Amino acid sequence: MCVRVFANISAARGWHLPLLSSSFWGGQASDSARVALKLGNCVAARWKSSLIRPHVTIVATATRSQESNPSQAIFFSDAGLNRAAEMRVDKTKLSEAFDSPEALVVPLVDAKNLVKGGKSVLVEASALRLTNADHESAGFPVFLGLSNSTKAPVFAVNLEKVPSAGEERPAWEDGGEWIDLRRYGSQLQPSDAGLLAYARGMLEWQTRNRHCGRCGGRMIAKDGGHSLHCSLDSCKHSAYPRLDPAVIMLVACGNYVLLGRQSRWNPGRYSLLAGFVEIGETFEMSVAREVKEESGIEIDQTSVSYIASQPWPFPSSLMVGFSASAKKNKCDPYSPESEDNNAVAVSPDKLIVVDELRALPQTSADELELEDARWVHKDLLRWVLKGNPLPHSVEFSIPGSYAIANIILSRWTESKREDSMWAGDDVISADIDEGVFEYVLMCLSDDKGREKLIVRGNSKLAYHSDILTAAQEEVKDMGLQVSQLGGGRIDHNVKERKLHVYSSSQAFGLANHSVTCAILRQWYPFHSITLAWG
């Protein structure tokens, strides 16, 4: 059940509902008004007389739930509406739509949306009659569109304020919560989040443009609230909703991606680099400039490619996603012979892990923009995206699935894998202990010839042969084989985030420590990693 409350609009203290003026509808306003407020899953409750005048009637009605859109891929991008732009300029149709019994309103207070039970709350507007409205304290209702499923017209309305802590909440609000959509939005269904974002963005735009930017006169709404016009005949300036385009970019260098973090974020939170487009720039120019300014990395501008976009109405951004390739360090191919001829040979195609690491350009985070910028390997990201924790309680996270950064990273980690996926993908490349311990460099393979290098180290196993046996047991049920490529020792200081690779194995010989360090770097991007051949 839900409640429908009929009341004189001007009576609710601190809950002024802006009414539809003649400038919005194109007709004459009447002298009185009533509004029907319909809020899902709440029961009839009382209001204090201090909150509303005595002439109140509460009537129980059936609940009407909002439709969801489970197939939506990008949050805030689909309100589940047909925007029906042709209706905005038809004053008669707008008036008929708002007066219809199916009409619904999305309420906002101080840029906050009302939710109840994890769902958006709508207001039923069937009992509203037109009157003069105090637009100075509120704003103009906005026609959002027609519901895709029910064809019901949907509007957005700005209320004045939330009751203070000492005031009793109105009955129609019982059980509801006014939330900041930016923080709470990810907990909603995509269609609910999209609808609330659309309403919030439009009403915030109205709030910022209550007065003419040219002469300071009062602005009035037209076109269903989608345009504002100066009320002074001497000016007649018009304003329309504007977006602030921002680029967000996945900058790759081989199998590494460039991530950054701001100091105000939660510990360990990293994301893609992003920034606003400046006047006179193309998107491609903005990508190159922002990456250079924030991280010191130069990109190949010819590599910039569009991926996807996401509305971000906080207050009025459009995030436009791109991919780009960093300019790599120029270096000769890695030659094991230049370091130690005694190391167990690793096949040349596997040495690419070292070349890829050496090709990474050095980051230099702009302290005014970022606290840190660094390269993170694709395998680590794929592991985190699957919900797996990092070893040794290392704090590292990326934005949730509601954010375009997560979507772009997910697509990148899974790209070009359909034909190459195998059981070895589920085996972590570096699984090591804390303190000082023996380690073995190994080659993991299946009967189809697919291979990958892994590193295993365990302080509880005293011999390299024991470490190899443990690794073989680890993967035997997966149809995989493990062969050793030498060993050594690792000193792992977790607190100081330091890894030192050294020594050799009496049973297996000397492992290629450069290859080992390259694999460790893939899984320990926040560690300082060193090696010694002696």
| Catalytic residue IDs | 464
User: Using CA atoms, how far apart are residues 191 and 214, in angstroms rounded to an integer?
Assistant: 37
Cα-based torsion angle of the residue sequence 330, 334, 338, 344 in order, rounded to the nearest 10 degrees: 170
Q: What letter represents residue 360's amino acid?
A: L
Quote the Cα angle for 490-494-496, to 5°: 105
User: Using CA atoms, how far apart are residues 507 and 34, in angstroms rounded to an integer?
Assistant: 88
Say how far residue 326 (Cα) sits from the centre of its chain: 24
User: Using CA atoms, how far apart are residues 233 and 486, in angstroms rounded to an integer?
Assistant: 86
User: Using CA atoms, how far apart are residues 44 and 29, in angstroms rounded to an integer?
Assistant: 31
**What's the burial of 387, exposed, middle or buried (CB within 10 Å: 0-12/13-18/19+)?**
exposed
Q: Is the distance from CB of 19 to CB of 133 less than 8 angstroms?
A: yes
Quote the DSSP letter at residue 514: H
Tokens of 403: 């954010």
Q: How many residues does the chain have?
A: 534
Residue 76, Ramachandran bin (φ over 0: left; ψ between -120 and 50: alpha; else beta): left
Task: Please report where in the chains the tokens 């949730």 appear, as a residue.
Answer: 400
User: Using CA atoms, how far apart are residues 168 and 153, in angstroms rounded to an integer?
Assistant: 31
